[in-house]
Amino acid sequence: KVKAQIEEKEGKTFDVFTAVEFKTQVVAGTNYFIKVHVGNEEFMHLRVFKSLPHENEQLSLHSYKGSKTKHDELAYF
């Protein structure tokens, strides 16, 4: 659901965009830290926020880090 947001920020499209790992952090909603394979040996780490149900908000891309590898640890950022 956040692929279009990251493509807009990066100014390119991704043929491959597959989540391979995730972690969560409960706040006033939920932060999802997601490792995404974006093709070849390239990965990105995304932080996506999901609001509480009563707020009825869309998933939002909070931040991301590019130039990651398959073996880079997925951690809070």
Residue 77 domain flag: no
Residues constituting the chain: 77
Structure tokens at 64: 């991301």
Instruction: Give the pLDDT confidence score for residue 30 in this predicted structure.
Output: 94
Question: Is residue 31 a part of any domain in this protein?
Answer: yes
Does residue 75 sit within a domain?
no
**What is the arithmetic mean of pLDDT over 23-32?**
93
Q: What is the Cα Rg of the chain in Å? A: 13
Residue-number span of the structural domain to which 50 is assigned: 1-69
Q: Is residue 48, in this structure, part of any structural domain at all?
A: yes
Residue type, 66: G
Quote the CA–CA distance of 53 and 17 in Å, as a whole number: 26
**What average pLDDT score do residues 13-19 get?**
94
Residue 59 lies in a domain: yes
- Provide the 10 A C-beta neighbour count for residue 11: 6
Percent of the chain at pLDDT exceeding 70 = 100
* Domain total in the chain: 1
Distance CA 32, CA 2 (A): 12
